[in-house]
Structure 1
Amino acid sequence: MQTEKVVDHIVNWLKNYAMNARVNGFVIGISGGIDSAVTSSLCAKTGLEVLCIEMPIHQAASHVSRAQEHITHLKSRYSNVRATRVDLTPVFEEFKTEVSLDGTQTTVDMALANTRARLRMTALYYHAGLLGMLVAGTGNKVEDFGVGFYTKYGDGGVDLSPIADLLKSEVYKIGEYLEVPESIMKAAPSDGLFGDARSDEDQIGASYPELEWAMEMKDQGQTEDDFEGRQKQVFQIFMRYNRSNTHKMIPIPICEIPKNLK
């Protein structure tokens, strides 16, 4: 990958999109992970206004410290970057008092995890509306179009996706080029939706390099019968997520009414 040229391409794309949309800049949720660090850095390089928002909900201390480190680092390098903190923990706790928590522990935990992401999306769009900005997404290609590892109308609810055509390994290369803090570069990827430090690999059962391999194999038309051992296991994991999350990756289905019925 021609990293410098890719960075310039994304920065120019962001700048042109914002200017054509006649907006002031970008709002980005900062999680302490590599994807939001790279996305916010790319947005900062446009020279347009950038608002970084930290939105903790019972967040793991390591996630909070990395997010704050990145924001401080970014502000020191770019005068067009501002930051704010919106503590959504009280909102989340109040929400839980108003809804039913009946169900298995697994289903309740997952529903609440997705609720965290949707509360953050609401906060991002609130600020974007106030400031005349666009919400920049932080999903990469493996998450967005491989395993669908994001929350529909949560972190998937954005105006534009600067890094969605980049594999996770490519995001890391850009992160290194953009001098993202070392603590973030070395941290295990995590969605931060459960209030602890569990990683994406803990949840999915496969690492991003493994998922990138499986995604490539699928694109080549391979099936699970073509593999054995760990490779077969990884390919099965990838396909299970890919199939179950297809609804996230396609436009909302519309029931089209035949003309003769109208």
Structure 2
Amino acid sequence: MSDSKPSAHDPALARERSELATEPEAVQQLREQLPRFVERTLERAGAEGVVVALDGRVGSTVAAVLAIEAVGVDRVSGLVLPANMNDEASARAAEAVASMLSIEYERLQLRPLLSAFQRVIGAAGEPADDVVALDNARERFRMACLYYVANTTDRLVLGSVDRTRRLLGSVTKHGDDGVDLAPLAPLYHTEVRALARAVDVPSNILDRSTRTAGRADSDPQKLGVDPETLDEILHALVDQAQPPAAVAERLAVDRATVQRVRKWCETTRHKRRPPLTPSIDL
């Protein structure tokens, strides 16, 4: 597989290629490197600060903490962006995180925006109830809100998508992965959780992340593997380019499971690629 090389804009991983960065020394290196990355990015852009979408989960919480460590709480703001009643628990958790971190935030209800969008789409004769398309639209509306605030306050949009989600395609094109800087992009979810513990993210947020990962519709459950083993499989397949048989033997997992993970990554590779462009000869 060929997704191992990080973007030139991603901070270097503080880990050996043979293992995930979960040991104290490696996590401490991440704690030093990632805030510097955020600070340098803002300096190069001449931006006043960052704005982050808060959802009460571990990724956005860690991203916010890193930004605070980098540039101070006054230069970090949050948006809480519920779109329906099912988002209410996440919205309340996000507001609790903002209060805990002393981050200024705004809560914007996207339901009216989505309802108006569905009316416009329906009037044009297009399906207005396609669940997948609406989920993608919701994430893109969130991205639009973040960039509007960023544009009007001279800030950058701070992302919280990790490497696990990106490799599995658990992102929306031009949605939750549409950001200016992504400090967690090189880190697997297991590493983000280790970093969260190191920066004293409360256990209720870590527990909430674990419960979400255990849902029947979550990626680990779909793939038939626990989240930690999933990251080990991805790391071996992608970063170390090991063949599935060797990965299965080393991690003592079923070869079919490793093949499912590999196929999933290949199927969603289009989400990690820039737009296709033609080759022209002038």
TM-score (norm 1): 0.84
Contact kept, 8 Å, 1:188 with 1:199, in 2: the verdict is no
RMSD of Structure 2 on Structure 1 (CA): 2.6
Report the Cα offset of residue 89 of structure 1: 1.2
The answer to whether the 8 Å contact 2:82/2:109 transfers is yes
- 1:22 is matched with which residue: 46, 66, 69? 46
> Shift in Å at residue 210 of structure 1?
3.0
Partner of 1:216: 235
For the 8 Å contact 1:27–1:51, the answer to whether it is kept is yes
CA apart distance, 1:159:
0.6
Deviations 1:175-206 (A, max 9, x none): 11111122111113549xxxx99645456654
Q: Distance in 1 between matches of 2:246 and 2:66?
A: 41
| Aligned position for 1:140 | 162
Match for 1:213: what amino acid? Answer: E
Q: Cα 1:57–1:180, aligned 2, differ >3 Å: closer, same or farther?
A: same
Q: Which amino acid aligns with 1:209?
A: E
1:96 Cα deviation from its structure 2 partner: 1.4
Give me the whole-angstrom Cα distance separating, in 2, the residues matched to 1:227 and 1:167.
Answer: 19
Could you tell me how far 1:234 is from its partner in structure 2?
2.7
Determine which of 84, 95, 99 is the counterpart of 1:72.
99
Aligned residue type for 1:84? E
Task: Give SS of 1:135's match.
Answer: strand
Which residue of 1 is the match for residue 89 of structure 2? 62
Instruction: State the number of aligned residues.
Output: 246
CA distance in 2, matches of 1:226, 1:63: 36
Q: What do the CA deviations read for 1:32-87 (whole angstroms, capped 9, x no partner)?
A: 11110100111111234011110001133432232121111110xxxxx3111111
- Alignment pair present for 1:86 and 2:108: yes
List per-residue Cα deviations over 1:199-222 (Å, max 9, x = no partner): 454566544223212213323331
> 1:218 & 1:70 partners in 2: Cα distance?
35
With 28-37 and 63-72 compared, the bigger mean Cα shift is at 63-72
Residue deviations 1:134-175 (CA, integer Å, cap 9, x gap): 00111111112x212100000011111101111111101111
Q: Cα–Cα, structure 1 residues 232 and 96, in superposed 2: closer, same or farther, change >3 Å?
A: farther
**Paired amino acid for 1:83:** Y
On the 8 A contact 1:60/1:197 being kept in 2, the answer is: no
The 5 Å alignment of 1:107-118 reads 108-118=130-140
Q: Which runs of 5 or more structure 2 residues have no equivalent in the other structure? A: 1-20
Cα distance in 1 for partners of 2:253, 2:131 equals: 29
Distance in 1 between residues matched to 2:202 and 2:218, nearest whole Å: 19
Whether the 8 Å contact between 1:211 and 1:234 is mirrored in structure 2 is no
Question: Residue 127 of structure 2 aligns with which residue?
Answer: 102
The 8 Å contact of residues 23 and 134 in structure 1, kept in 2 or not, is answered as yes
